[in-house]
Structure formats: C-alpha cells, structure tokens
A = this chain, B = another copy of it.
Amino acid sequence: MAIIVQKYGGSSVADAARIREVARKVVACKAEGNGVVVVVSAMGKTTNELIALAREFSQTPPRRELDMLLTAGERITSALLSIAIAELGSEAVSLTGSQCGILTNDRHSDARIIEVRPIRVEDELAAGRIVIVAGFQGMSYKREITTLGRGGSDTTAVALAAALSAERCEIYSDVDGVYSADPREVKAARHLPEISYQEMQEMAAAGAKVLNAQAVEFAKRAGIAIYARASFAPGRETVVRRDAPAEPHGVAAVVTERGVAWVRFMGRAVTEGCLDILEAAERTITPVKELRFQWPGAEVSWARGSFVVSTSLIPDWERARAAFLEAGRGELEIVEGLGAVSLIGVGINRDTRNVQKAVRILRELNAPIFSLSTSGFRISLVTDGAHLEAAVREMHAAFVENGVAPPSFTDL
C-alpha cells in the first residue's frame, strides 16, 4: 500500500464547507487504494486570533504558554476533519503531534524535529483508517508541547512522509505552486512545474512563503517529492524533487522579502560590544536563525560589522530592537523599512558575473545597497523599501525573462 501524506493549510480548512470539501478529496485518495495521512493547520485566522487573545494579557507571553495555547487550533481542525470524514462513511482518527511520535528539541515556538516515531500512525493505517494529524506541533524530550514555527505544518507533513517512507507528500494551499517571482509583484512571473530541493530551500530562506525551509530539508534528506498544489483548483502543480544537476543553469526565481532591518555596529561596539549585542539577539529573538547573519553590507567599511534582521519573523520586534540598542550603548545603528531581493538558481555563484550584474541593476535604479550576501544557490541584496518593487521587476526581466531558462528535470 502506497502512503500519501497530504497537508492542508489554514485557508483550505477555513470553514465547514471547505473542511467538507477536503474530506471528500481525502476519501477519494483513500478510495484509490492509498494509505492516507492528512496534516492540517488551524482554521483560517485562528492562530492569529489566539495570539491576539494572548496579547490581551501580555506583550511578551511566555513562549511555552503560547505553544500550549496555539496548538489548540490544529487540534480543533483535526477533530472536525475526522468527524467530516466519518460522516462520509470512512474511518478516520485524529492524532496530536505527540501521538504521532513527533519528538522535538525544547525551543518553544520554533522547535526542531529531532526524531519521528510514527508507530501509532502506522498502526492506524494498518487498521485501514485515515489518519488526521494536528500540524505545527510536537513534544519535546521534556514531554512539553512545542510548536515548529511559521509554516510548521509543512514540516510535520514532510517529516511524517519521510518517517513513513511515503510515496509522496502533497502540500495544498491557495496557490498552485511556485513561481519565478510573486505574481502580484511581477506580471511576467512564470509558474515553475519543477524545482530542486536546494533552490526551494534557498527561496524559503529568502522569504518566499510557499514552503517551509525545514520541511524541504526533510524531503531532501529522505528523497521524498513534494507536490505543491492549489486545494480547490486542480491543474498546475510544482514538484519539488531531486537534487539539482551539477550543471549550472540560470536564475529560477526572484524572491522578495519586506520588513527587513539593518543593524550596524559602530566604534567600540565592533570589537567590544558585539558579543553583548549577539547575546541580546539570542535573548530576544531566540530562534537565532531569524537573525540571519550575512557578511557586512557591501556599502559599509569592512572594519564595521553589520547584520540583517527579518523583523516579520520576530514575535516582538519592538522589544528586540530596544534590547539591541541597549546592548549597543549608543554605538549601534538600526535602519528599518528595508527589503531584500534574492536571486535563486543552481550554480549562479560559480563566478561573480551574476553578483556584478545584480549590483549594477540596483546602481542603475539609484537603489542603496545595505547588504549583499551569497550562499549556495542564492544572491541576496538588501535595499530600501522604496526601491524594492522596481528592483524585483528589473531583476526578473534581466535574469529570468531574458536569462538562461533552468532545464526541466524531465529533459535531463
């Protein structure tokens, strides 16, 4: 029996009618002879509503308590979907992250999955039941309820797919896959029928919200294909699979991220205060991955350290900002309202031609460059918010529309 893991995001289970529709899709998948595991998010805006409730009491609610609070959302959806499936005459059982054997570290609100022991899931599948899993949550080795951070239900789905040796993992949302740029920002954006794990990871790290980066990491390690599809509009999909070919190809996508801040150390802060500041970052931002350390901004003297922060990923940026400034003791500058534009593509950093071209495009737009960083398959530039839209349009035109198209994997 092939095992299929499906994941439905918040908008796909936003109300009773949609949950009923999802129930029908799930039952149809089971009827095809598959073992079906369904991971669900909280309904619609439930998570935001619960966070708002918590904020009625505190601007800095303890993360452990926030996890206890938020996990209720996914449990409600899982029980309701299970009831809807039972009503269609199929047997379904809802399970919490803990019941699925999703073991995490104890970093509340951004836990990482350490191990998946899906014994209960396997038992239920063997008994012919459809398994509905509350996404986004796990249990730490301290037996505490944890959450997996933004997009964590994707991670639940892929981690379970890997642990169950599933045939594939289908991620349903309100978009039909991955595009070469956000279609709302770039009209010429192309739908990508396929993309490699690495490129998808870089896109997620660069701020694309389609798939969670840790989820893609799990899929890559287990060699499981992810199918990103629209829940209620069958048709196109993006398949995320197989490591990129060694041959370099062009830019696959241009990704933007807003709400970026640039933090610069000055004077003694560079040598003496730096550790204090990093400690403040650790204390206030906690998931340090959110503090994406880049090398010093291109326009900044090498003698002066700087880093870039994705403020939208930080639960309480105002507090983090205050902690930074206090730790910096007057020798720290924070520039807010910036944006990052990132180019993603296998081998685009084999030489510096793409970096040079990207910098030239921003210079021609008179867009300031606060930071430039490259990694495996990514070039990221931070500019100000005012120039961001033009920057992404020009980059997409120069690199995707008139660039070298990435080869389709099926052509290889």
**Bound-complex Cα distance A86 to B59 (A):** 11
Determine if A80 and B69 form an interchain contact, defined as CB atoms under 8 angstroms apart.
yes
Determine if B83 and A61 form an interchain contact, defined as CB atoms under 8 angstroms apart.
yes
Q: What chain B residues lie within 8 Å of A50 (beta carbons)?
A: 76
Determine if A62 and B82 form an interchain contact, defined as CB atoms under 8 angstroms apart.
yes
Residue among A50, A57, A72 with the most chain B CB within 10 A?
A57
Count residues of chain A with CB under 8 A from any CB of chain B: 37
Question: Chain A's interface: helix, strand, loop or mixed, by majority?
Answer: helix
Interface: A94 (CB within 8 A): yes
Interface: A389 (CB within 8 A): no
Q: What chain B residues lie within 8 Å of A56 (beta carbons)?
A: 16
Interface: A301 (CB within 8 A): no
How many copies the complex holds: the figure is 2
**Bound-complex Cα distance A229 to B357 (A):** 74
**Bound-complex Cα distance A143 to B80 (A):** 20
Can you give 23 A-B contacts (C-beta < 8 A)?
A16-B56, A19-B57, A20-B57, A53-B76, A54-B83, A57-B83, A58-B83, A58-B84, A58-B86, A58-B87, A62-B86, A64-B93, A65-B79, A65-B83, A65-B92, A65-B94, A69-B76, A69-B79, A69-B83, A71-B75, A72-B75, A72-B76, A120-B143
7 closest A-B pairs (Cβ-Cβ)? A69-B79, A72-B72, A68-B79, A16-B56, A58-B87, A61-B83, A57-B84
